[in-house]
Amino acid sequence: MVIFVLLGALAINFPVTVIPRYKADATPAVYMAAVVLFPPAAAVALIGASRLLGEGILCLRRNPATGYQRRQPVDLVFNTSHLMLAGGLSALAYRASGTVLLGAIFAGAVMYAVSTGLVGVAVALHSKRPPLEIWTEMAGLELKPTAALYVAGYLMAALSSGRPWLALAMMVPIAAIQHALTRSVQLREQTIAAVESMADVVDRRDPYTGQHSQSVADHSLRIARAMRLPESEVGLIRLAARVHDLGKIAVPDEVLHKHGRLTEAEFELMKKHPETGVEILSKFPEYRRGRELVLAHHERIDGLGYPRGLSGKDIPLGARIIAVADSWDAMTSDRPYRKALDGDVALAELLRGRGTQWEPAVVDAFAGTLPGAVPAPARHGLSELRPLLRSLGAAVGVVG
């Protein structure tokens, strides 16, 4: 028990940030071993002592980046209590099963469901997001590594029964699993950073679009949140918006920088950039879901967009959001052939194309994010403004 307490406390001090406000560590292996080896009361005591020691050390340590303690007392109380509860229920489930192997599987399922479920509820209360959405997000990233840790914990219990020092030897594969999770998270972050750097290089090919992708991502983020989309969808939309013009890397400079109107052949070349972007992103698993948004960000509600001529709800919602953000940034930025449009004129153009070029709900949500925006209930008289908006928009032309 002393060895397990010390191992658990040590593991707590080497966490991996899986998603914001949620970190994973190698302690599930130690807790599973405790559940298998000891009676429920002893297992709960072991988990509690291990957690108090490890979290207590974190309460005394400071984060060099922020200067604050790595844990607050409230974190110590919550983390210790919810894991003691999960461990106790898991130990009872193991004893009630009657068989060793199936009991361990059942105990692991109970421990995971209880511990992550309570964490999901806690994060949901803090972030005002649905608990199930948070749980799904966590499970998608760390379910497999946690299952591997449970298996390692079961093997630790089997090896160390009567030979407690062999538990130390099992920390080698457990540390390897933790390292693999760390590398997986780091690789994902590094891949995203590298692809976004490529998108920034594409933007900087044209001095007029130096921050375009970043601006479109920021606008898309605000729209998605204004529409109260799940945070996982918000993150996906931002991820795709950040690289939506990556395919322009294949567009020649003479076309990309042309001051006048594009010829039909040049425009056909330009229209290939969504497909080129998807072809590049297909090499990166992190963009598996976001690729469809990149492909469809130039589609129109009336079906006159490209590259597939999708219309209405056939266009993914994320792509409809990126389309509005992209058009707004294009209209309100300087271009070689014109100066940036005033915000009122750009908004009039968006409203003029509301329902034909752009999704009405997305345009309304974006309009609501602008400074001094009229609340949604006050916009019911929009149809009465349409003639004025058409006359204003006529001076601008349709954004392609």
pLDDT tens, position by position, 23-46: 778 899 899 999 999 999 999 999
Greater confidence, 283 or 68? Answer: 283
Per-residue pLDDT at 43? 95
DSSP state of 372: T
Stated as kind and residue range, the H or E segment containing 19 is: strand 16-19
Domain with CATH 1.10.3210.10 in the chain: 205-394
pLDDT band at 21; cut points 50, 70, 90: low
165 CB-near residues (< 8 Å, 6+ apart): 3
Least confident segment among 106-110, 154-158, 304-308: 154-158
Query: Looking at the domain 205-394, which fold is it?
Result: Hypothetical protein af1432 (1.10.3210)
Burial track 306-323 (b if 16+ CB lie within 10 A, e otherwise): beeebeeeebbbbbbbbb
pLDDT at 225: 93
225 vs 174: which has the higher pLDDT: 225
Using one digit for the tens of pLDDT, what is the confidence trace for 344-389? Answer: 999 999 999 999 999 999 999 999 998 765 544 334 344 434 443 4
Q: Is the predicted pLDDT of residue 188 greater than 90, yes or no?
A: no
| Higher local confidence (pLDDT), 223 or 209 | 223
Choose between 110 and 375: higher pLDDT: 110
Residue 25: which of 89, 85, 74, 70 has the closest Cα? Answer: 70
pLDDT tens-digit readout, 313-333 = 999 999 999 999 999 999 998
Average the pLDDT over each of 80-94, 162-176, 285-299 and give the range with the smallest value. 162-176
The tens digit of pLDDT for each residue in 239-261 reads: 999 999 999 999 888 888 777 78
Contact status, residue 16 vs residue 60, Cβ threshold 8 Å: no
- pLDDT, residue 18, reads 65
The percentage of the chain sitting over the pLDDT mark of 90, rounded to a whole number, equals: 44
Bond prior to 307 in cis (omega within 30° of 0): yes
Lowest mean pLDDT across 8-12, 136-140, 205-209, 216-220: 205-209
Name which of 56-65, 226-235, 345-354 the model is least confident about. 56-65
Task: List 347's β-bridge partners, or say none.
Answer: none
| pLDDT for the residue numbered 382 | 42
pLDDT at 14 over 60: yes
Q: What is the pLDDT of residue 213?
A: 92
What's the sign of the alpha-carbon dihedral 262, 267, 271, 273? negative
Lowest model confidence (mean pLDDT) among 148-152, 209-213, 364-368: 209-213
Higher pLDDT, 9 or 400: 9
Bridge-partner residues for 16, per DSSP?
24
Q: How far apart are CA 359 and CA 367, in angstroms?
A: 12
398 pLDDT band, cuts 50/70/90, is very low
More confident residue, 134 or 38: 38
CATH topology of domain 2-186: Arp2/3 complex 21 kDa subunit ARPC3 (1.10.1760)
Pull the structure tokens for residue 383. 């149809």
| Domain limits, CATH 1.10.1760.20, in the chain | 2-186
